[in-house]
Chains A and B, each alone.
Chain A
Amino acid sequence: MGLIYALNGLYFAAFLFLTSLGLSIILGVMGILNLAHGSLYAIGGFIAAYFIGMMTGSSTILMLVTAAASAMVLSGLVGLVIETTLIKPLYKRPLEYQLLITFGILMLIEDLIKLVFGGESRYASAPFDAMGSVQIMGHTYPAYFLFVMLITAVAGMIIWWVMAKTKLGIMLRAIEMDRDMAQAMGIPMRRLTVTAFVLGAALAGLAGALVVPTTPAVMGMGMDVLIMAFIVVVIGGLGSLKGALVGSLLVGLTRSFTVAYFAELEMPLLFLIAVVILVIKPEGLFGQK
């Protein structure tokens, strides 16, 4: 059974990675802890569940592509709107206002989702069922979980390539390292900030879209995932790609094995790890001060 728990852990890690990456980028580049990040994930989940529900009978691939694309576009758009209208005026303001405005946005989005999609849970297990299961060393395992890991690996590699090799990524890293210097060097801060925010929002949307075939979209799903992503970012380090990866793996595997052996301990243990890391190394395992 150990293998199955390890695979489950990797699956948790995969979707946590997608969610926490956006949170981490936004925190690293803009210095804002976006409490509404989980809500962008929830938007992705609900819109994906809506489309999968609409497309009953069409091919699985088409269903997943539509779900993922619509989720990324909508979450990205919402991200664009809130960044340019609500968050932009707050970069120069003290921390408490930044935290509070994203807290307010979280409440707004939560109820807007209820308003648009109704308060009920939405089930969208069609792609999960259609993919069936595979045999891995004598164990039956859902193929969809492996598919999510694959997608995450591809997305992770694209992001890594963007951050490491492209001009966009280099400029983003420059802002993260030294904001004032980056500005002095003529880096277009405003445009990059928006790009980073929309990118992070779209990734959260993708994560939400990928998760609904396994668990239904429900009200409050964003808040739960926000807390998990938050632990990942704390463990891995603010604004670090490597940190988000290691943090996700650590959280995913810890979660999977504690759920299997001491289910009661799951959340307390994760928070305890986060607190210990914060105390010893507040900037996280791979973060920089």
Chain B
Amino acid sequence: MTKYLFSSRALAYLITLVVLLLLPQVLDPYHLNMVETGLSLAILGLGLNLLLRYAGVLSFGHGAYFAAGAYAVGLLYMYFPEHFSFELAILASLAVSALVSAIFGFVCVRHTRIFFSILTLALAMLMFAILEKAYHFTGGSDGIRIPLPTFFGMEITGMRRFQFMVGPYYYIVVGIFSAATLVMLAIVNSPFGKALQATRDNEVRAEMVGIRVKRFRWYAFVISGTFSGLAGGVWSFVSGHITPEISNWVFSGEIVYMVLLGGFMIFEGPIVGAVLFTYLRLYAVAWTEYWMLIVGGTLVVLVLLLPGGVTGGVADLVGKLRPRRAEGRG
């Protein structure tokens, strides 16, 4: 059964990848840019969901690690413009977000439930306050402009920033997104992932069988934060401009919304959620100045009527239409 599931999942991934690679043939640059945003946020959603779904704790401050990754890129450009290459920028994103989440996580994993959520929120706001107030180091609320980097020693010449961003860069985003998804899938199915779920289901029992609960939760926090940082790094080029707002708790709330929209009980849920959220927000903003009414309204309806998110709803529907295929919840 697992073999069947695995192969059907592999097939679905393959089809998704082919579709993603073909999208530039059919989509205009504007929408391609949205897909890039959606895929960056998907990496962020996968990161958050490692904590929410597998470790059983809700971070309401994951914007902080996304910001850590994005600001690593921004500060690299500000202070070492001669070394501003894409590979170095992404490495900096990974390193800085891993460091920040290791420090913040060390503090947070001592608590669970509401205290965990409150602490993550407060730490993210601390980061927001620092990014915004340290004007001379971070550009304050004006943020930092992110120009085109060099790629493995190559200068990008002969095309404009936007052309590059919706051209070659799209394939880089797809590549990083695919790699991140596979790595996360491997993590949640590894012995570590199973142990993490054991700490979620019963902390005392997990401790009894020899799992060091806080240590494992901390590892999960760092992995989750590093994924978020990678997302921030990738996204900073897509957006071209970063501000402290991404560390504000409102953005962190939107990340949680995104993951729940897609459905956090299914591994791929956050990916679906991130892409849907990007488009929902885009169209709501374009359609009416009261876009928060739409986004907030869908959120309320979702929580009340469809707690499993879109993928959860589809899974339920499929389950109702035909007999359940046993333990098929990845």
Docked Cα-Cα span, A105 to B107, in Å, equals 30
Which A residues between 241 and 289 are near B, CB-CB below 8 angstroms?
A: 264-268, 270-272, 274-275, 278-279, 282
- Asked, given contacts A86-B304, A93-B307, A265-B133, whether A99 binds B296 with beta carbons under 8 Å apart, the answer is no
**In contact, B119 and A106 (Cβ under 8 angstroms):** no
**In contact, B117 and A278 (Cβ under 8 angstroms):** no
**In contact, B130 and A107 (Cβ under 8 angstroms):** no
Query: 1/0 contact trace for B170-184 toward A, CB 8 Å?
Result: 000000000000000
Set of chain B residues within 8 Å of A90, measured between Cβ atoms: 303-304
Query: 1/0 contact trace for A85-111 toward B, CB 8 Å?
Result: 010011001011101110111111011
Partner of A111, one of B114, B290, B304: B290
Min C-beta distance of A83 to chain B, whole Å: 13
Partner of A112, one of B118, B133, B293: B293
Docked Cα-Cα span, A248 to B117, in Å, equals 22
Query: 1/0 contact trace for B108-123 toward A, CB 8 Å?
Result: 0011011101110111
Residue ID in chain A nearest B256 by CB atoms: A100
- Asked, given contacts A106-B296, A267-B133, A275-B122, whether A99 binds B58 with beta carbons under 8 Å apart, the answer is yes
- Asked, given contacts A99-B58, A282-B119, whether A114 binds B290 with beta carbons under 8 Å apart, the answer is yes
Query: 1/0 contact trace for B38-82 toward A, CB 8 Å?
Result: 000000000000001000001010000000000000000000000
**In contact, A103 and B107 (Cβ under 8 angstroms):** no
- Asked, given contacts A101-B304, A103-B257, whether A268 binds B129 with beta carbons under 8 Å apart, the answer is yes
**In contact, A267 and B132 (Cβ under 8 angstroms):** yes
CB of A26 closer than 8 Å to a CB of B: no
- Asked, given contacts A108-B292, A108-B300, whether A99 binds B117 with beta carbons under 8 Å apart, the answer is yes
Partner of A96, one of B250, B256, B289: B256
**In contact, B119 and A275 (Cβ under 8 angstroms):** yes
Set of chain B residues within 8 Å of A106, measured between Cβ atoms: 296
Residue from the set A90, A105, A112, A264 with the largest chain B CB neighbour count within 10 Å: A264
Min C-beta distance of A69 to chain B, whole Å: 28
- Asked, given contacts A95-B113, A96-B52, A268-B126, whether A104 binds B303 with beta carbons under 8 Å apart, the answer is yes
Min C-beta distance of A195 to chain B, whole Å: 22
Set of chain B residues within 8 Å of A35, measured between Cβ atoms: 253
CB of B260 closer than 8 Å to a CB of A: yes
Which B residues between 176 and 223 are near A, CB-CB below 8 angstroms?
A: none
Residue ID in chain B nearest A262 by CB atoms: B133
Min C-beta distance of B86 to chain A, whole Å: 32
Partner of B126, one of A108, A114, A275: A275
CB of A223 closer than 8 Å to a CB of B: yes
**In contact, B260 and A96 (Cβ under 8 angstroms):** yes
Set of chain B residues within 8 Å of A275, measured between Cβ atoms: 107, 119, 122-123, 126
Residue ID in chain A nearest B140 by CB atoms: A264
CB of A33 closer than 8 Å to a CB of B: yes
Residue ID in chain B nearest A279 by CB atoms: B107
Docked Cα-Cα span, A110 to B292, in Å, equals 8
Set of chain A residues within 8 Å of B121, measured between Cβ atoms: 230
- Asked, given contacts A96-B58, A96-B260, whether A105 binds B115 with beta carbons under 8 Å apart, the answer is no
**In contact, B304 and A89 (Cβ under 8 angstroms):** yes
Set of chain B residues within 8 Å of A119, measured between Cβ atoms: 289
CB of B249 closer than 8 Å to a CB of A: yes
Set of chain B residues within 8 Å of A230, measured between Cβ atoms: 118, 121-122
Residue from the set A111, A234, A266, A282 with the largest chain B CB neighbour count within 10 Å: A111
Set of chain B residues within 8 Å of A33, measured between Cβ atoms: 114, 117-118
Which A residues between 221 and 253 are near B, CB-CB below 8 angstroms?
A: 223, 227, 230-231, 234
CB of A115 closer than 8 Å to a CB of B: yes
Min C-beta distance of A90 to chain B, whole Å: 7
**In contact, A108 and B129 (Cβ under 8 angstroms):** no
CB of A53 closer than 8 Å to a CB of B: no
CB of B299 closer than 8 Å to a CB of A: yes
CB of A31 closer than 8 Å to a CB of B: yes
**In contact, B130 and A111 (Cβ under 8 angstroms):** no
**In contact, B257 and A100 (Cβ under 8 angstroms):** yes
**In contact, B307 and A97 (Cβ under 8 angstroms):** yes
Set of chain A residues within 8 Å of B126, measured between Cβ atoms: 268, 271-272, 274-275
Partner of A107, one of B107, B110, B292, B304: B292
CB of B158 closer than 8 Å to a CB of A: no
**In contact, B260 and A100 (Cβ under 8 angstroms):** yes
Partner of B130, one of A101, A110, A268: A268
Docked Cα-Cα span, A115 to B296, in Å, equals 14
Min C-beta distance of A95 to chain B, whole Å: 6
Min C-beta distance of B57 to chain A, whole Å: 9
Query: 1/0 contact trace for A178-190 toward B, CB 8 Å?
Result: 0000000000000
Residue ID in chain B nearest A36 by CB atoms: B296
Residue ID in chain B nearest A220 by CB atoms: B250
CB of B148 closer than 8 Å to a CB of A: no
Can you name 15 A-B residue pairings with CB atoms under 8 Å? A33-B117, A86-B304, A93-B307, A95-B117, A105-B296, A107-B293, A227-B249, A264-B135, A268-B126, A268-B129, A268-B130, A271-B122, A271-B125, A278-B118, A282-B119
Q: What are the 8 closest A-B residue pairs judged by CB atoms, nearest first?
A: A107-B296, A104-B299, A267-B129, A271-B126, A111-B293, A108-B296, A104-B300, A107-B292
Given contacts A103-B257, A268-B130, 14 further A-B contacts (CB under 8 A): A33-B118, A103-B256, A104-B257, A105-B300, A106-B296, A108-B297, A111-B291, A111-B296, A119-B289, A264-B133, A264-B134, A271-B129, A274-B126, A278-B122
